[in-house]
Amino acid sequence: MSIYDKLGAKTAGVKARSIEKPAEKSVKTAPAMFLNATQRMDAAEARAEELEKRLKEAEAKASSLEIALSELHEIEGRRRKLTAEEYQELRENLRQNELVTPITVRQRESGGYEIISGHNRVAVFRDLGRESIPAVVRNTDKEQADVNAFYANLLQPHLPDYEKYLGFCMLRSRRGDLSHEELADMAGISRQQVSRLMAFAELPAEAVHLLNEHPAAIGANAAQALAAAAKSGHAQRVVEAVSKVISGELDQARAVKFAGAGEMPTKPAKLEPVRIKVGKAVYCDVRRNDRTIRLDFKSPEMAEAAHDAIRNVLEALAKGMKGGD
């Protein structure tokens, strides 16, 4: 008999002792189960938000780079015109301060980049002898680049109404005969404001020719009144009125009277709100009337939470008022 057989015989009557692990306490009550599920969901959402934040930061970092000025090309019609004084103010601002907002460009098939937004910033950098400028590269086609350039300038406080009108004409020529309401929805402004801007189309051809050279001469309100005068048979007086505004002989209100259109409307029609949503829920309504912006939130808590953020934005805009494209 081998040693293994002898050992087996001696231990045959010994029962093996089993060791049981303590069972995990299960969540039995409905409130506890709900709390447990909620905690897991909150943790999962927090992880998802963190991953999304990191992804956006990585995308922004990857898309923003320094581009040599020699590789940048200007596209006619995209640059916002500045007066000599405005350009000098922008130059002085960028001479002393860092460029906070990168320009926007798209890559050209023939090499280099075409500027979508930031033409005046590029011009100033060249004037200052800089060699490169911070830029964000957008993967978009030429048509969309033109549209993006227009929208980038649309809400600039110093963009003349006539140039806004030309931008909407560009949208119509490329996207069919869009209605005023459709243009308003695309731009995020009121239909009434679009209608006033499109009144430039009803001015006499000679007046339009003058505005091509002097786009800031008259605003949309004056254009609307002058267009009405032209329809009433005073087309030549309208041309003369625009010419006198350009020469400085008349201001816009007196030019409207000169053209035989009566009083120029000083108060625009009631503006429809621009609605800001979070999913399907309304966050706030935004109304703008000349120099006033009104925000209507759905609760006092929402208004209070937005107050500091709005103040920070306004302070940043105030510091950058000397800039422009």
Q: What is the pLDDT of residue 291?
A: 67
Question: If you average pLDDT over every residue of the chain, what do you get?
Answer: 76
More confident call, 170 vs 253: 253
H, E, C per residue of 95-112: HHCCCCCCEEEEECCCCC
Q: Residue 319 — pLDDT band, cuts 50, 70, 90?
A: confident
Inform me whether the pLDDT recorded for 261 exceeds 70. Answer: no
Q: What is the pLDDT of residue 165?
A: 85
Q: Residue 225 — pLDDT band, cuts 50, 70, 90?
A: very high
Other CB atoms within 10 A of residue 113 CB: 19
Which residue type sits at 221? Answer: N
Q: What are the residue boundaries of the structural domains of the chain, listed by start?
A: 30-59, 160-269, 274-319
Of 79-93, 104-118, 237-251, which one has max mean pLDDT? 237-251
- With a pLDDT cut of 90, the percent of the chain lying above it is 18
More confident call, 66 vs 57: 66
pLDDT per residue as tens digits for the range 118-134: 888 899 999 999 999 99
Inform me whether the pLDDT recorded for 12 exceeds 70. Answer: no
* Residue 220 φ/ψ, nearest 5 degrees: -65, -35
Inform me whether the pLDDT recorded for 7 exceeds 50. Answer: no
Inform me whether the pLDDT recorded for 54 exceeds 90. Answer: no
More confident call, 198 vs 16: 198
Q: Where are the alpha helices (H) located in 119-234, listed in sequence order?
A: 119-127, 142-154, 161-174, 180-187, 191-197, 205-213, 220-231
Q: Residue 138 — pLDDT band, cuts 50, 70, 90?
A: confident
Q: What is the mean pLDDT of residues 251-266?
A: 75
pTM score above 0.75: no
For 214-241, give the DSSP string: -TTSS-HHHHHHHHHHHHTT-HHHHHHH
Q: What is the pLDDT of residue 166?
A: 82
More confident call, 296 vs 210: 210
Q: Which of 133, 193, 123 is nearest to 165 (CA)?
A: 193
Indicate the fold that domain 160-269 takes in CATH.
Arc Repressor Mutant, subunit A (1.10.10)
